[in-house]
Amino acid sequence: MRKNKLIVANWKVNGSKTLCEEYRNLSDFQTRSDLVVCPPYPYLGQFNTHSISLGSQNVSIYQSGSHTSHVSVTMLKEFGCEYCVIGHSEVRDTFGDSDSIVRAKARLLLNEKITPIICVGEDESIRNSGQHLDFVNNQLKQGLPYFEFGESVKEIVIAYEPIWAIGTGNTASLTQIEDMAREIQSMVAYFYQHFSHLSVTVLYGGSVNPNNAKEILSQPSVDGLLIGGASLVPRNMEQILSFC
């Protein structure tokens, strides 16, 4: 289990140079947390502070070549990315990323020593049918990367983001969050049972804000948060960081 809470801001297609500057000033508010900012690609070069880690919102499956609009893992590395979100439901939906693509991207990232943040989560109909644990288990089984022989990976990050909670204001209940986070912890630990040094970090995402973050962070199986809309307001981030 990681020492500090991991707080990840996913700006999606939002942000500006001004927001980058405001984030650079957030370093004063960090307590027992590791803050990662995932801005749109053009802003990746705007963060030169050591107290904020850089993450990407996605990565190309291609290393180079004629693939207009793609950004490779080597480029992310060159810009100092330590984390990369993959398998976000919006990316699965818009670009058709399957679990096997998520697995391949995770492998490319690990090759460059970038920590993948693998997003999983069910839609409303799956939740209502009671199949959510099986669904997420399957996403993990198909999407988790295999490690190379002798490879020492320190951390793998899974973000549980129920699709019905993203951007809706309909946050999952504490019981729903803890039940799934605990399940993910044990599924991933089982998958990597031969890698005893691996730390499994489970984040929750989906309508997190300063009013619910403290209680979510206090759930025993939750190691941090993946925050969308609320992360666009620096004052929200100051408050959330103060709970860590």
Q: Which one, of 107, 92, 174, 95, lies nearest residue 139 by Cα?
A: 92
The tokens describing 25, both together, are 């000033």
Residue in 122, 205, 223, 241 binding ligand 13P, rule: CB under 6 A: 205
Rounded to the nearest whole angstrom, what is the least distance from the CB of residue 149 to ligand 13P in the complex? 33
Q: Does 228 bind ligand 13P (CB under 6 A)?
A: yes
Q: Does 117 bind ligand 13P (CB under 6 A)?
A: no
Listed ranges 15-23, 28-36, 42-50, 224-232: which one lies at the site for ligand 13P (CB under 6 A):
224-232
**C-alpha span between 243 and 19 (Å, rounded):** 22
Answer yes or no: 183 catalytic: no
Q: Which of 90, 161, 178, 183 is catalytic?
A: 161
Rounded to the nearest whole angstrom, what is the least distance from the CB of residue 88 to ligand 13P in the complex? 6
3-state secondary structure string across 39-59? CCHHHHHHCCCCCEEEEECCC
**By 3-state DSSP, what share of the chain in percent is helix, strand and coil, each rounded to 5?**
40, 20, 40
- Longest pairwise C-alpha distance within the chain: 47
Rounded to the nearest whole angstrom, what is the least distance from the CB of residue 195 to ligand 13P in the complex? 26
Q: Does 10 bind ligand 13P (CB under 6 A)?
A: yes
**C-alpha span between 148 and 194 (Å, rounded):** 12
Q: Spell out, one character per residue from 78 to 107, where the chain touches ligand 13P: x when CB under 6 A holds, - when not.
A: ----------x-------------------
Site for ligand 13P in 129-148 (CB under 6 A): none
The residues assigned a catalytic role are: 88, 161
